Structure 1
Amino acid sequence: MPPPAPAPAAVRIVGRGRAGGALAGALTAVGWDVEVVPGRDATTADGVDLVVLAVPDDAVAEVAAAVGPGSAVVAHLSGSRGLDVLGPHARPASIHPLVALPTAALGAERLRAGAWFAVAGDAIAGRVVRALGGRAVEVPDEHRAAYHAAACIASNHLVALLGQVERVAAPIGVPLEAYLDLARATVDNVAALGPAAALTGPAARGDTATLDRHRAALDPAERAAYEALVHEARRLAGRV
């Protein structure tokens, strides 16, 4: 049987953006006592178990410095920042959901759907993850930037890539939807086989004639991105 959920705690979330709203909704749904402080209004680390700074990465240090002292853990949701930005507080933590949060409502659902979280610092970070039914991975300060870069590649860069698919296909009358099942199946293949074994296509098999036809067909504005990813595909296939 799975371990019992940790006892609910009292949480104060500073910030009403998508991340803060998503976490507030998710923790409220599992029975935690959640208070949301609008914007970056001044607050203290008293009267709750955990204060979460749900503010942009570059604002974490400033907001942390403005939080009055107290016994609560003070945590941030930043993927790229370490614990050092919470320097004024004796019990720092970080809890970064490895989840796309396009809206607070959808984000709250995703945070409770077995999501991965990068955690560091005080043990309450892991307690939050367990309460949400998630999976935690410890990422120390010196690896936070690389961890977050990989997250951006997996999510933001994938969206940008599909934007290129849409641009290339639209003039020939093929909708983006026609390619999405291909993309989903490819991600499933990576999950089942790993990236190298899942790779198919002309770059993987060394079909330079087909690659040349692609180059000739592409708008010049699309070629740089195409060439960069052909190189990465050849690298993954061991052809570079």
Structure 2
Amino acid sequence: MPVRLRVGVVGAGRVGSVLAARLRAAGHDLVAVSGASPASRLRIDTLLPGVHVTTPDQVAAAADVLVLAVPDDHLVAVAEHLAARPGQVVLHTSGRHGLEALASLARQGARTIAFHPAMTFTGTELDLDRTCVFGLTAGPDERGLAERLVADLGGTPVWIAEDDRATYHAALAHGSNHLVTVVNQAMELLRSVAGPDADVAAVLRPLLTASLDNALSFGDAALTGPVARGDVSTVRAHLDALAGADASTASTYRELARATAHRAEDDGRIDARTSADVRQALDEAEWDSLAASVEQAR
């Protein structure tokens, strides 16, 4: 492949617009992009000024390297709609999918790559300087090109087997997306006691930052808190307090506390009896919640 590639991007969403901007900044020719929604057009105007905006078919016809940055559930249909040329490189940014999603284009002679940036995107200038790992799946002849594109983006490659793509993506979604849910639930609980104008982010940020850094560095050894200490009475107090909170928050607390009890037991932080006592308290609270729901329904 030439040093300067003709790149086209189908889907100017949060991911596609940022990758397009960074590939252009790396010296490649951004020949065309597609994006029809008002949000996509705003991203194009902001991050990709002057780029030719056209249909997915025309983007594919103009590009030597075609990036499909579309939602997971639409990827196969988009790929099946497009025509490819022998030797054309087509990559997608889905974490879940591997090469099978591009099988229709591979049958036309395209060189296919699964090219997932393991990063959360805002679709703004904030993303332009961020670096990340890319989860890659490709055939032997495409591995070098995939790694070259990752290097152009300032990233780090990690190779994922085709059959492991769903597990890989589940790990990222569980760690990142569910983290957002838990943090927002914690902020809502704090606002309920500190008031709507309280700076709850300032309360949580140092604690959460330290917890994340410790977990990434030390694994289960970073576990702290009442479950890891075996403070069953404190867990019961939490459950009583959460009985009047949002049901999904209480449910999340119980499920994560169960998982924490198992991990703390496996790590030797608490013994089997204490772990069982924690789980019994959680089970009792769940039954109480269910009974209250049934009574309310009556």
Contact preservation (8 Å) 1:24, 1:36: no
**Mapping for residues 105-120 of structure 1, pairs under 5 Å:** 105-110=125-130, 113=131, 115-120=132-137
1:36 match = 32
Percent identity for Structure 1 against Structure 2: 35
Greater displacement, 198-207 / 43-52: 43-52
Matched, 1:25 2:21: yes
Counterpart CA distance in 1 for 2:146 and 2:181 is 31
Deviation at 1:229, TM superposition (A): 0.8
Residues 224-239 of structure 1 mapped to structure 2, 5 A cutoff: 224-238=251-265
What are the residue-to-residue correspondences of 1:201-212 with 2, within 5 Å? Answer: 201-212=225-236
- Between the aligned partners of 2:59 and 2:125, the Cα distance in structure 1 is 27
Letter in 2 for 1:106: L
Tell me the TM-score normalized by structure 1. Answer: 0.89
1:150 maps to which residue?
Answer: 171
Report which stretch shifted further, 177-186 or 213-222: 213-222
> Among 84, 93, 96, which residue is 1:77 paired with?
93
Q: Secondary structure at the match of 1:176?
A: helix
Equivalence map 1:23-172=2 (5 Å): 23-39=19-35, 41-43=56-58, 48-70=63-85, 71-90=87-106, 91-110=111-130, 113=131, 115-121=132-138, 122-123=142-143, 124-172=145-193
Larger Rg: 2
- Is 1:191 the counterpart of 2:216? The answer is yes
Task: Please say if residues 165 and 176 of structure 1, whose CA atoms lie closer than 8 Å, have aligned partners that are also in contact.
Answer: no
Indicate yes or no: 2:230 matched with 1:215: no
> Matches of 1:127 and 1:86 in 2, distance apart?
20
More helix by share: 2
Structure-1 separation of matches of 2:203 and 2:237:
21
Task: Identify the structure with bigger relative contact order (alpha carbons < 8 Å, sequence gap 6+).
Answer: 1
Asked whether the equivalents of residues 33 and 59 of structure 2 are also in contact (C-alpha less than 8 Å), the reply is no
Q: Which range moves more in the overlay, 206-215 or 218-227?
A: 218-227
Letter in structure 1 aligned against 2:217:
A
8 Å contact kept, 1:12–1:34: yes
Residue 221 of structure 2 aligns with an amino acid whose one-letter code is: A
Q: Contact between 2:31 and 2:62, CA under 8 Å: does it hold in 1? A: no
Runs ≥4 in structure 1, deviation > 6 angstroms? none
Q: Distance in 2 between matches of 1:108 and 1:55?
A: 19
CA shift in 2, pair 1:237/1:51, >3 Å: same
Decide whether the 8 Å contact of 2:97 with 2:166 is kept in 1: yes
Quick check: 2:117–2:134 contact (8 Å CA) kept in 1? yes
Give how far 1:166 is off. Answer: 1.0
Alignment partners' CA distance in 1, 2:173 and 2:8: 27
3-state SS of paired residue (1:213):
helix
Deviations 1:98-126 (A, max 9, x none): 0000224223322xx2x111011122222
Asked if structure 2 preserves the Cα contact closer than 8 Å seen for 1:25 and 1:104, the reply is no
Structure 1 position 47, deviation (Å): 5.1
Unaligned runs of 5+ in 1: 1-5
